[in-house]
Amino acid sequence: MSKLSSNRIYTIILKALANVMYCLHCVNLALQIKTLGRGCKVLGGVLISGGKNISVGEHCFIGRNVVIDASAGPLTLGDHVEVRDNTRIYSSGIVIGSGVTLGEGAFLNGTITIRDGAWIARGCDLSGRVTIEKAILGPKVSCVGGGDHARDPKTGKVLMTSDDSNSCPSLRDTGIRICEGAWIGQGAIILKGVEIAPNTIVGAGSVVTKSFPQNTTIAGVPAREIRS
């Protein structure tokens, strides 16, 4: 038997073993969650909590060492969703549309809606109440859509918890919306109450504290409109 034939047989065996492992991981996941669509591929080390609240569509991919916790609210993944390695999802009501990619190490925590076709690159942090339409988020973008910590009404001290009945209420959580066609550069930070209008470009490293008109380019700390 030639060396070429031996290598080919070895490759076939490895692919067959990989397919068996995909099947075993899928069976394991299917036993833990509410629904798992056909044609999904699941790698090892996936940790699940609140499985009765989790629904996964068809032909999805879930990478290695992914953490999914839906104990606090439902999580729904559409079809052809790709959840890459080391992603963590803590759902208080998360809906991820079809064709969405969550890059390596992405972090989702809160009440989040991601529409069909959105691209969330590696290391992104989406927290609080966030809505993302068909847009592109570059690496390590942060969307800070959660509420503020409460303050002591007498001293003004920031409290570690807001369950003190004598504390001042935190500011209203108005959330974040990133509209269709927006492109958010690497390391940008979007603060709560901001809407990124359609076709807006946000420069890398920007801190966006307010909304701007559509079809604009913004950059800086704090972000300002860049005029051509």
3-state secondary structure of 22: helix
CA 170 to chain centre: 25
pLDDT of the chain along its 228 residues, tens only?
Answer: 555 576 777 677 766 666 666 666 677 777 789 999 999 989 888 999 999 999 999 999 999 999 999 999 999 999 999 999 999 999 999 999 999 999 999 999 999 999 999 999 999 999 999 999 999 999 999 999 876 656 676 776 767 665 544 433 444 457 999 999 999 999 999 999 999 999 999 999 999 999 999 999 999 999 999 975
Which pTM value belongs to this model? 0.82
Residue 11: the pLDDT is 75
Query: φ and ψ at 5, to 5 degrees?
Result: -65, -40
Find the CATH number of the domain harbouring 193. Answer: 2.160.10.10
CA distance 223 to 217: 10
pLDDT at residue 89, rounded to an integer: 98
Of the candidates 55, 53, 56, the residue with the CA atom closest to the CA atom of residue 40: 56
Cα–Cα distance between 65 and 86 in angstroms, integer? 5
Which tokens is 28 given?
């394991």
Q: Which helix (H) or strand (E) holds 5?
A: helix 3-32
Q: Map residue 173 onto helix, strand or coil.
A: coil
Number of independent structural domains in the chain? 1
The number of residues in the chain equals 228
Judge contact between 105 and 121, C-beta under 8 A. no
pLDDT at 172: 45
> What range does the domain containing 85 cover?
3-225
| Dihedral sign, Cα of residue 206, residue 121, residue 32, residue 112 | positive
Q: In which residue are the tokens 């988020």 written?
A: 137
